[in-house]
Amino acid sequence: MANEVATFGAGCFWCLEAALNELEGVHSALSGYMGGHTAAPDYQSVCSGQTGHAEVVQVSYDRERISFAELCQVFFALHDPTQLNRQGNDIGSQYRSVIFYHSGSQQQQAEAFISELNQAGLFDAAIVTELSPASTFYPAEAYHQGYYRQNLQQGYCHWIITPKLQKFRQQFLAQLKQRPS
């Protein structure tokens, strides 16, 4: 087994965590915070926008079963990477589109992937996803882990995340751990 780590920020971490945990080859996807300037941030301080952290999902995966490039495909399919410091109604640098790379290879692959997406013109505007070296990962509070699965009827989960996950499952059906019947 060849374990690797990747860290992505795509706005609110609940949707990205739920999707990544469904992929074959992903051992775990944990919600948390990265990229800020204060130690031991919590949800309230990150949401204030004062810590500099982004809401992220850190993924532990088996690179022999799923590649970093495949994780990037999912990441870019689940959010709008052309919005600077926001995703929908969530506004602030804590909701920025960001890839925190853990190696030079991840950095190069992410740069190439962004270049390909921009050249293909798949989005109405240029991609503004930040690429930064990984720093300390702070896991989010326990109630954020698996939040979507535990709160399916909560308004944000029901109206925002569920439709995104349905589209994700159709697009990445062959890569899911369990295929819907």
Catalytic residue annotation: 12
Within 10 A of 80 (CB to CB), how many other CB atoms are there? 17
Residue matched to tokens 């109604």: 89
| 92, burial (CB in 10 Å: exposed 0-12, middle 13-18, buried 19+) | middle
Q: Where are the beta strands (DSSP E) in 52-102?
A: 54-62, 86-87, 90-91, 97-101
| 125, burial (CB in 10 Å: exposed 0-12, middle 13-18, buried 19+) | exposed
Classify residue 21 by its DSSP letter.
T
CB-based contacts of 169: which residues, under 8 Å, 6+ apart?
Answer: 22, 176, 180
Q: What span, in angstroms and rounded, lies between the C-alpha atoms of 33 and 135?
A: 10
Residue matched to tokens 């505007």: 125
Q: What span, in angstroms and rounded, lies between the C-alpha atoms of 42 and 32?
A: 9
